[in-house]
Amino acid sequence: MRSILARHSPLVILAGLCIVVAVLSPEFRTADNLKSVAYRTSVVGIIATGQILVILTAGIDLSVGSVAALSGVVACTLMKNHALPVPLVIGSGILTGLICGLLNGFFAAKGRIPPFIVTLGMMMAARGGALLLSGGRQISAISDTFAIIGGMRGWWIPVAITLAIAAVFSVMLTFTRFGRALYAIGGNLNAARLSGIPVDRMRIGAFVLCGMLAGFAGVMLASRTGVASPNAADGGELDAIAACVIGGGSLMGGEGGCVGTLAGALIMNVLVNFCNLKNINPAWQKVLVGALIVILVYYDNLRKRRAGLLKE
């Protein structure tokens, strides 16, 4: 029982937080508000789902926020200037993310450069690319069909997409050779290599999927806000990393999962939502969220250590 609790602690923390917030703020309990929180978590939830794949391999992807912005700009430019049909627009965004992810993965795995450095470069280059391509302007993304994936025709669509993505990747991590290899690589890279896992290919795969998800999230963000902005998802990479870590991921690799990550993203958004509902000074919001990230991860580690789950 205890170990089950420890394994799913992000969900327990989320539930606890929701109960506390619901008691303190009657507005939080309203259906509209819960919908709104679920809905706004979709973009960061998808980015974080990609991020956890890379974090599992003991890597990190700092470029996801910029890649999301670039993908949104690419997709909306194509839609506006070339009247591309919506599925192709979405596809072009995912493709942009795929290319960025492939470059990241190639240089990190084959080039043997620390992922931090590679993705730092990509973070700057992709942001610059987004600014260049858009000429620094916001690109209008108003189209009735395009608005669907961002939830302008029903809040549940992005939420359902996010849950579906998390479910698919959760199953992939648990049941496929690829998923298990990611845990093995993060656990011990050399051991994984010696046991015959094609380490480089698996790592590239993680970066590619991460890039694709960031690309898709960028398109979804543009659809939601009605504009593709070259400055969109600024700091998105840090939100995603925070979500992974709150959700039980370890930057040392080998630990974490999609369900926990999604819970982590929700925990952050519930907190910010609560502060907004209570009209709390934005400076205090930052203090509160920052402190809670550290406290939650600290307690999570403590519980895991007690349950004997932590890698020392």
Partner 1 sequence: MLVLVIVIMFVIVIAIVNETMFSTLGGTIMNRTLCGLIVLAIATGCGGQASSPPAQQPAATTSAKKERLEIGVVPKGISHQFWLTVKAGADTAGAEFNANIRWQGPDKETEIDKQVNILEDMISRRVDAIVMAACDENGLTNVIKKAVEAKIPVITIDSGVKSDLPVTLVATDNVAGAKAAAHELARLIGNEGEVGLMPFIPGAATSELREQGFKEALKELPGLKLVATLYCQSDVAKGMNVTQDMMTANPNLKGIFAANEPGAIGAAQAIKAAGKAGQIKLIAFDASDEEIQMLKDGTLQALVVQNPFQMGYQGVKAAIDAIQGRPVEKRIDTGVTVVTMENFHQPDIQKLLYPLGK
136 binds partner 1 (CB under 8 A): yes
The region of 48-56, 178-186, 217-225, 301-309 touching partner 1 under the rule CB under 8 A is 217-225
43 binds partner 1 (CB under 8 A): yes
Other Cβ atoms closer than 10 A to 78: 17
Distance (Å, whole) CA 100 – CA 71 = 10
CB of 119: closest distance to partner 1 in angstroms?
Answer: 10
305 binds partner 1 (CB under 8 A): no
Alpha helices in 111-248 (DSSP H): 115-134, 156-175, 177-187, 189-194, 199-225, 236-246
Distances (CA, A) of 253 to 105, 189, 202, 240: 16, 10, 14, 16
Q: What is the x/- site pattern for partner 1, positions 64-103, by CB under 8 A?
A: ---------------------------------------x
Specify the 3-state DSSP secondary structure of 227: strand
Distance (Å, whole) CA 81 – CA 224 = 20
Looking up tokens 């969900």 gives: 11
Looking up tokens 């648990």 gives: 174
143 binds partner 1 (CB under 8 A): no
Closest CB to partner 1 among 102 and 309?
A: 102
Nearest to 267 by CA among 246, 248, 281: 246
CB of 44: closest distance to partner 1 in angstroms?
Answer: 9
Among 4, 5, 23, 142, binds partner 1 (CB under 8 A): 142
Closest CB to partner 1 among 15 and 132?
A: 132
Distance (Å, whole) CA 220 – CA 93 = 9
- In the numeric block, which tokens belong to residue 155? 């809040």
Distance (Å, whole) CA 69 – CA 200 = 28
CB of 209: closest distance to partner 1 in angstroms?
Answer: 21
- Residues of this chain, 107-126, that bind partner 1 according to CB under 8 A: 107, 111, 113, 117-118, 120-126
Looking up tokens 């610059």 gives: 128
Instruction: Specify the DSSP class assigned to residue 110.
Output: I
Distance (Å, whole) CA 294 – CA 130 = 33
Task: Find the largest Cα–Cα distance for the chain.
Answer: 58
Distance (Å, whole) CA 63 – CA 68 = 9
Closest CB to partner 1 among 36 and 301?
A: 36
CB of 45: closest distance to partner 1 in angstroms?
Answer: 13
290 binds partner 1 (CB under 8 A): no
CB of 28: closest distance to partner 1 in angstroms?
Answer: 8
Closest CB to partner 1 among 167 and 290?
A: 290
Closest CB to partner 1 among 33 and 188?
A: 33
- Residues of this chain, 219-248, that bind partner 1 according to CB under 8 A: 221, 224-227, 229-234
Closest CB to partner 1 among 141 and 197?
A: 141
Q: Which residues bind partner 1 (CB under 8 A)?
A: 27, 30, 32-33, 36, 40, 43, 103, 107, 111, 113, 117-118, 120-129, 131-132, 134-138, 140, 142, 151-152, 155, 221, 224-227, 229-234, 272-273, 276-279, 281-283
